[in-house]
Structure 1
Amino acid sequence: MRKWGYAALGTALVAAALGTPADAAVSGGQPECRRAFDHAVWEDMDSYNKRDADRYRAIIHRDMVTVGRKGNLYIGYDANVDPVLEQFKVPYEFSMPWTVTHTVVEDCKMGFAILDAHYLEPSHGIDRHYTISLTLVREHGRWQVVKDTVTEVVP
Protein backbone atom coordinates (compact mmCIF):
# COMPACT_ATOMS: atom_id res chain seq x y z
CA MET A 1 0.00 0.00 0.00
CA ARG A 2 2.79 2.42 0.84
CA LYS A 3 4.59 1.80 -2.50
CA TRP A 4 1.35 2.55 -4.35
CA GLY A 5 0.99 5.79 -2.39
CA TYR A 6 4.51 6.90 -3.29
CA ALA A 7 3.96 5.95 -6.92
CA ALA A 8 0.74 7.96 -7.01
CA LEU A 9 2.45 10.93 -5.36
CA GLY A 10 5.32 10.69 -7.85
CA THR A 11 2.89 10.54 -10.75
CA ALA A 12 1.00 13.55 -9.40
CA LEU A 13 4.22 15.55 -9.03
CA VAL A 14 5.31 14.71 -12.57
CA ALA A 15 1.85 15.66 -13.86
CA ALA A 16 2.02 18.95 -11.95
CA ALA A 17 5.45 19.72 -13.39
CA LEU A 18 4.33 18.96 -16.93
CA GLY A 19 0.95 20.63 -16.71
CA THR A 20 -2.50 19.80 -15.48
CA PRO A 21 -4.68 17.21 -17.20
CA ALA A 22 -6.87 20.07 -18.40
CA ASP A 23 -3.84 21.70 -20.02
CA ALA A 24 -3.00 18.41 -21.70
CA ALA A 25 -6.52 18.13 -23.10
CA VAL A 26 -6.42 21.68 -24.40
CA SER A 27 -2.97 21.48 -25.95
CA GLY A 28 -3.00 17.87 -27.06
CA GLY A 29 -0.23 17.30 -24.53
CA GLN A 30 2.18 19.32 -26.64
CA PRO A 31 2.79 22.93 -25.59
CA GLU A 32 4.71 23.66 -28.80
CA CYS A 33 1.71 22.44 -30.79
CA ARG A 34 -0.56 24.81 -28.88
CA ARG A 35 1.82 27.71 -29.48
CA ALA A 36 1.89 26.92 -33.21
CA PHE A 37 -1.92 26.79 -33.24
CA ASP A 38 -2.17 30.12 -31.40
CA HIS A 39 0.30 31.63 -33.86
CA ALA A 40 -1.75 30.37 -36.81
CA VAL A 41 -4.88 32.04 -35.41
CA TRP A 42 -2.85 35.24 -34.99
CA GLU A 43 -1.47 34.84 -38.55
CA ASP A 44 -4.98 34.58 -40.00
CA MET A 45 -6.22 37.69 -38.22
CA ASP A 46 -2.99 39.70 -38.59
CA SER A 47 -2.70 39.00 -42.33
CA TYR A 48 -6.31 40.18 -42.73
CA ASN A 49 -5.73 43.34 -40.73
CA LYS A 50 -2.52 44.16 -42.63
CA ARG A 51 -4.06 43.33 -46.01
CA ASP A 52 -1.22 40.91 -46.67
CA ALA A 53 -2.48 38.77 -49.54
CA ASP A 54 0.41 36.29 -49.56
CA ARG A 55 0.19 35.58 -45.84
CA TYR A 56 -3.59 35.36 -46.01
CA ARG A 57 -3.50 32.90 -48.93
CA ALA A 58 -0.97 30.72 -47.08
CA ILE A 59 -3.10 30.30 -43.93
CA ILE A 60 -6.28 29.25 -45.78
CA HIS A 61 -6.93 25.53 -46.33
CA ARG A 62 -7.84 24.35 -49.84
CA ASP A 63 -11.21 23.05 -48.55
CA MET A 64 -12.15 26.06 -46.43
CA VAL A 65 -15.80 26.76 -45.65
CA THR A 66 -17.10 30.06 -44.32
CA VAL A 67 -20.52 30.78 -42.88
CA GLY A 68 -20.84 34.55 -43.08
CA ARG A 69 -22.62 36.95 -40.77
CA LYS A 70 -25.80 36.85 -42.86
CA GLY A 71 -25.71 33.07 -43.30
CA ASN A 72 -24.01 33.27 -46.68
CA LEU A 73 -21.93 30.17 -47.42
CA TYR A 74 -18.53 30.10 -49.16
CA ILE A 75 -17.06 26.68 -50.02
CA GLY A 76 -13.54 26.09 -51.30
CA TYR A 77 -10.29 28.01 -51.44
CA ASP A 78 -11.09 30.47 -54.22
CA ALA A 79 -14.60 31.18 -52.94
CA ASN A 80 -13.08 32.16 -49.60
CA VAL A 81 -9.89 33.92 -50.64
CA ASP A 82 -11.07 35.96 -53.65
CA PRO A 83 -13.63 38.15 -51.79
CA VAL A 84 -11.11 38.91 -49.05
CA LEU A 85 -8.43 39.88 -51.56
CA GLU A 86 -10.96 42.19 -53.23
CA GLN A 87 -11.69 43.76 -49.85
CA PHE A 88 -7.96 44.39 -49.41
CA LYS A 89 -8.20 46.78 -52.40
CA VAL A 90 -10.75 49.19 -50.88
CA PRO A 91 -9.29 52.69 -50.52
CA TYR A 92 -10.52 53.31 -46.98
CA GLU A 93 -9.27 52.12 -43.62
CA PHE A 94 -10.73 49.01 -42.04
CA SER A 95 -9.56 46.74 -39.25
CA MET A 96 -10.76 43.92 -37.08
CA PRO A 97 -9.33 44.06 -33.56
CA TRP A 98 -9.92 40.74 -31.80
CA THR A 99 -9.40 38.76 -28.63
CA VAL A 100 -9.34 34.97 -28.28
CA THR A 101 -11.90 33.94 -25.66
CA HIS A 102 -11.70 30.13 -25.91
CA THR A 103 -9.42 27.58 -27.56
CA VAL A 104 -9.41 23.81 -27.94
CA VAL A 105 -6.61 21.86 -29.64
CA GLU A 106 -6.96 18.10 -30.16
CA ASP A 107 -4.02 15.76 -30.76
CA CYS A 108 -2.11 18.46 -32.67
CA LYS A 109 -4.37 17.71 -35.65
CA MET A 110 -7.27 20.11 -35.29
CA GLY A 111 -8.42 22.91 -33.08
CA PHE A 112 -10.78 25.80 -32.84
CA ALA A 113 -10.69 29.26 -31.38
CA ILE A 114 -13.55 31.55 -30.46
CA LEU A 115 -12.79 35.22 -30.95
CA ASP A 116 -14.52 38.38 -29.85
CA ALA A 117 -13.99 40.89 -32.67
CA HIS A 118 -15.10 44.25 -34.00
CA TYR A 119 -15.06 45.08 -37.69
CA LEU A 120 -14.27 48.80 -37.90
CA GLU A 121 -14.51 51.28 -40.76
CA PRO A 122 -13.89 54.62 -39.01
CA SER A 123 -14.56 56.78 -42.08
CA HIS A 124 -18.00 55.19 -42.47
CA GLY A 125 -18.86 55.06 -38.77
CA ILE A 126 -19.05 51.26 -38.86
CA ASP A 127 -18.37 49.15 -35.77
CA ARG A 128 -19.82 45.65 -36.07
CA HIS A 129 -19.38 43.33 -33.12
CA TYR A 130 -18.78 39.66 -34.02
CA THR A 131 -18.15 36.30 -32.47
CA ILE A 132 -15.84 34.42 -34.81
CA SER A 133 -15.25 30.69 -34.64
CA LEU A 134 -12.12 29.52 -36.47
CA THR A 135 -11.45 25.83 -37.01
CA LEU A 136 -7.94 24.89 -38.08
CA VAL A 137 -6.41 21.61 -39.19
CA ARG A 138 -2.76 20.66 -39.12
CA GLU A 139 -1.48 19.00 -42.28
CA HIS A 140 2.09 18.55 -43.45
CA GLY A 141 3.36 20.22 -40.28
CA ARG A 142 1.39 23.44 -40.54
CA TRP A 143 -1.92 24.83 -39.35
CA GLN A 144 -4.51 26.21 -41.78
CA VAL A 145 -8.00 27.63 -41.39
CA VAL A 146 -10.58 25.17 -42.70
CA LYS A 147 -13.76 26.76 -41.30
CA ASP A 148 -14.71 30.28 -40.32
CA THR A 149 -18.07 31.20 -38.86
CA VAL A 150 -18.91 34.86 -38.29
CA THR A 151 -21.87 35.69 -36.03
CA GLU A 152 -23.02 39.23 -35.46
CA VAL A 153 -23.44 40.05 -31.79
CA VAL A 154 -26.75 41.84 -31.30
CA PRO A 155 -26.54 44.73 -28.82
Structure 2
Amino acid sequence: MRKWGYAALGTLLAAAALGAPVAAAAGEQGDGGQQECRRAFDHAVWEDMDSYNKRDAARYRAIIHRDMVTVGRRGNLYLGYDANVNPVLEQFKVPYEYSMPWTVTHTVVEGCHMGFAILDAHYLEPSHGIDRHYTISLTLVRDHGRWQVVKDTVTDVVP
Protein backbone atom coordinates (compact mmCIF):
# COMPACT_ATOMS: atom_id res chain seq x y z
CA MET A 1 0.00 0.00 0.00
CA ARG A 2 1.35 3.25 -0.23
CA LYS A 3 2.21 6.59 1.41
CA TRP A 4 5.48 6.07 3.22
CA GLY A 5 8.02 8.68 3.80
CA TYR A 6 11.40 7.66 5.12
CA ALA A 7 9.98 4.89 7.29
CA ALA A 8 6.32 5.64 7.56
CA LEU A 9 3.52 3.83 5.86
CA GLY A 10 0.73 5.95 4.58
CA THR A 11 -2.44 4.91 2.93
CA LEU A 12 -4.13 4.80 -0.27
CA LEU A 13 -7.70 4.34 -1.42
CA ALA A 14 -10.89 6.34 -1.10
CA ALA A 15 -14.47 5.37 -1.67
CA ALA A 16 -15.64 6.85 -4.89
CA ALA A 17 -19.03 6.78 -6.40
CA LEU A 18 -19.01 6.03 -10.07
CA GLY A 19 -22.12 7.02 -11.95
CA ALA A 20 -23.43 3.76 -13.33
CA PRO A 21 -22.07 0.33 -12.47
CA VAL A 22 -19.83 -1.12 -15.13
CA ALA A 23 -21.35 -4.02 -17.03
CA ALA A 24 -20.22 -7.50 -16.06
CA ALA A 25 -17.33 -8.86 -18.07
CA ALA A 26 -18.09 -10.91 -21.12
CA GLY A 27 -18.77 -14.54 -20.36
CA GLU A 28 -20.06 -14.02 -16.82
CA GLN A 29 -23.33 -15.85 -16.42
CA GLY A 30 -25.28 -18.08 -14.06
CA ASP A 31 -24.66 -16.48 -10.69
CA GLY A 32 -24.55 -13.09 -12.37
CA GLY A 33 -20.81 -13.54 -12.66
CA GLN A 34 -20.34 -13.11 -8.90
CA GLN A 35 -17.72 -15.85 -8.57
CA GLU A 36 -15.67 -14.47 -11.45
CA CYS A 37 -16.05 -10.91 -10.11
CA ARG A 38 -14.96 -12.05 -6.66
CA ARG A 39 -11.91 -13.86 -8.08
CA ALA A 40 -10.98 -10.77 -10.11
CA PHE A 41 -11.45 -8.56 -7.04
CA ASP A 42 -9.31 -10.85 -4.87
CA HIS A 43 -6.62 -10.84 -7.56
CA ALA A 44 -6.69 -7.02 -7.72
CA VAL A 45 -6.15 -6.78 -3.95
CA TRP A 46 -3.24 -9.20 -4.30
CA GLU A 47 -1.90 -7.19 -7.28
CA ASP A 48 -1.94 -3.98 -5.24
CA MET A 49 -0.04 -5.48 -2.33
CA ASP A 50 2.31 -7.63 -4.42
CA SER A 51 3.29 -4.75 -6.71
CA TYR A 52 4.14 -2.69 -3.61
CA ASN A 53 6.20 -5.47 -2.05
CA LYS A 54 8.08 -6.12 -5.30
CA ARG A 55 8.61 -2.39 -6.00
CA ASP A 56 7.01 -2.86 -9.41
CA ALA A 57 6.13 0.66 -10.56
CA ALA A 58 4.28 -0.35 -13.73
CA ARG A 59 2.02 -2.83 -11.94
CA TYR A 60 1.47 -0.44 -9.06
CA ARG A 61 0.51 2.43 -11.38
CA ALA A 62 -1.95 0.18 -13.24
CA ILE A 63 -3.90 -0.86 -10.13
CA ILE A 64 -4.47 2.69 -8.84
CA HIS A 65 -7.65 4.53 -9.87
CA ARG A 66 -7.35 8.07 -11.25
CA ASP A 67 -9.49 9.42 -8.37
CA MET A 68 -7.75 7.56 -5.56
CA VAL A 69 -7.88 8.90 -2.02
CA THR A 70 -5.66 7.82 0.84
CA VAL A 71 -6.19 8.48 4.51
CA GLY A 72 -2.84 7.94 6.16
CA ARG A 73 -2.12 6.54 9.59
CA ARG A 74 -1.67 10.04 11.00
CA GLY A 75 -4.80 11.39 9.33
CA ASN A 76 -2.91 12.79 6.35
CA LEU A 77 -5.04 12.94 3.21
CA TYR A 78 -3.87 12.34 -0.37
CA LEU A 79 -6.27 13.13 -3.21
CA GLY A 80 -5.86 12.03 -6.81
CA TYR A 81 -3.64 9.71 -8.78
CA ASP A 82 -0.37 11.64 -8.69
CA ALA A 83 -0.65 12.51 -5.00
CA ASN A 84 -1.05 8.81 -4.23
CA VAL A 85 1.33 7.21 -6.71
CA ASN A 86 4.34 9.55 -6.59
CA PRO A 87 5.21 9.04 -2.89
CA VAL A 88 5.01 5.27 -3.32
CA LEU A 89 7.31 5.38 -6.34
CA GLU A 90 9.77 7.36 -4.20
CA GLN A 91 9.49 4.67 -1.50
CA PHE A 92 10.45 2.10 -4.14
CA LYS A 93 13.84 3.84 -4.45
CA VAL A 94 14.99 3.48 -0.83
CA PRO A 95 18.22 1.47 -0.64
CA TYR A 96 17.17 -0.73 2.28
CA GLU A 97 14.97 -3.79 2.43
CA TYR A 98 11.33 -3.44 3.41
CA SER A 99 8.22 -5.55 3.00
CA MET A 100 4.61 -5.62 4.03
CA PRO A 101 3.33 -9.15 4.65
CA TRP A 102 -0.45 -9.13 4.83
CA THR A 103 -3.55 -11.27 5.24
CA VAL A 104 -7.09 -10.46 4.11
CA THR A 105 -9.41 -10.71 7.11
CA HIS A 106 -12.69 -9.55 5.57
CA THR A 107 -14.00 -8.91 2.06
CA VAL A 108 -17.26 -7.58 0.63
CA VAL A 109 -17.89 -7.42 -3.11
CA GLU A 110 -21.05 -5.64 -4.27
CA GLY A 111 -22.18 -6.79 -7.67
CA CYS A 112 -19.31 -6.41 -10.05
CA HIS A 113 -18.73 -2.72 -9.49
CA MET A 114 -17.25 -2.16 -6.01
CA GLY A 115 -15.78 -3.97 -3.06
CA PHE A 116 -13.61 -3.56 -0.04
CA ALA A 117 -11.08 -5.67 1.80
CA ILE A 118 -9.75 -5.39 5.33
CA LEU A 119 -6.14 -6.52 5.69
CA ASP A 120 -3.95 -7.26 8.67
CA ALA A 121 -0.43 -6.14 7.73
CA HIS A 122 3.02 -5.49 9.11
CA TYR A 123 5.35 -2.93 7.58
CA LEU A 124 8.85 -4.34 8.13
CA GLU A 125 12.28 -2.78 7.79
CA PRO A 126 14.63 -5.41 9.25
CA SER A 127 17.77 -3.26 9.03
CA HIS A 128 16.08 -0.52 11.07
CA GLY A 129 14.31 -2.82 13.53
CA ILE A 130 10.91 -1.58 12.35
CA ASP A 131 7.75 -3.69 12.58
CA ARG A 132 4.60 -1.58 12.38
CA HIS A 133 1.29 -3.41 12.67
CA TYR A 134 -1.56 -1.99 10.59
CA THR A 135 -5.15 -2.57 9.66
CA ILE A 136 -5.55 -1.59 6.03
CA SER A 137 -8.91 -0.95 4.41
CA LEU A 138 -8.88 -1.02 0.61
CA THR A 139 -11.85 0.02 -1.50
CA LEU A 140 -11.80 -0.94 -5.16
CA VAL A 141 -14.10 -0.05 -8.03
CA ARG A 142 -14.48 -1.72 -11.35
CA ASP A 143 -13.85 0.85 -14.04
CA HIS A 144 -13.52 0.10 -17.75
CA GLY A 145 -13.65 -3.64 -17.07
CA ARG A 146 -10.94 -3.83 -14.39
CA TRP A 147 -10.67 -3.46 -10.65
CA GLN A 148 -8.69 -0.51 -9.30
CA VAL A 149 -7.92 0.81 -5.84
CA VAL A 150 -9.85 4.02 -5.21
CA LYS A 151 -9.42 4.35 -1.43
CA ASP A 152 -6.82 3.19 1.07
CA THR A 153 -6.93 3.77 4.79
CA VAL A 154 -4.11 2.67 7.07
CA THR A 155 -4.64 2.47 10.82
CA ASP A 156 -2.08 1.63 13.49
CA VAL A 157 -2.93 -1.46 15.51
CA VAL A 158 -2.42 -0.57 19.14
CA PRO A 159 -0.64 -3.34 21.08
Question: So what's the TM-score if we normalise by structure 1?
Answer: 0.82
2:111 matches 1:100: no
2:49 maps to 45
Amino acid at match of 2:73: R
Q: How many residues align?
A: 129
1:138 maps to 142
Amino acid at match of 2:41: F
Amino acid at match of 1:84: V
Question: Any stretches of 5+ residues in structure 2 without a counterpart?
Answer: 1-30
Question: So what's the TM-score if we normalise by structure 2?
Answer: 0.80
Distance 2:77 2:123 in 1: 19
**Which is higher, the Rg of structure 1 or of structure 2?**
1
- RMSD (Å) for aligned C-alpha atoms: 1.2
**C-alpha deviations, 1:79-111, integer Å up to 9, x for none?**
000000000000000000000000000011000
**What's the CA shift for 1:132?**
0.1
Residues 36-75 of structure 1: matches in 2 within 5 Å?
Answer: 36-75=40-79
**What's the CA shift for 1:28?**
7.2
2:81 matches 1:77: yes
Relative to its length, the structure with more helix (as a share) is 1
Amino acid at match of 2:134: Y
Contact 1:44 1:59 in 2 (8 A): yes
**What's the CA shift for 1:29?**
5.8
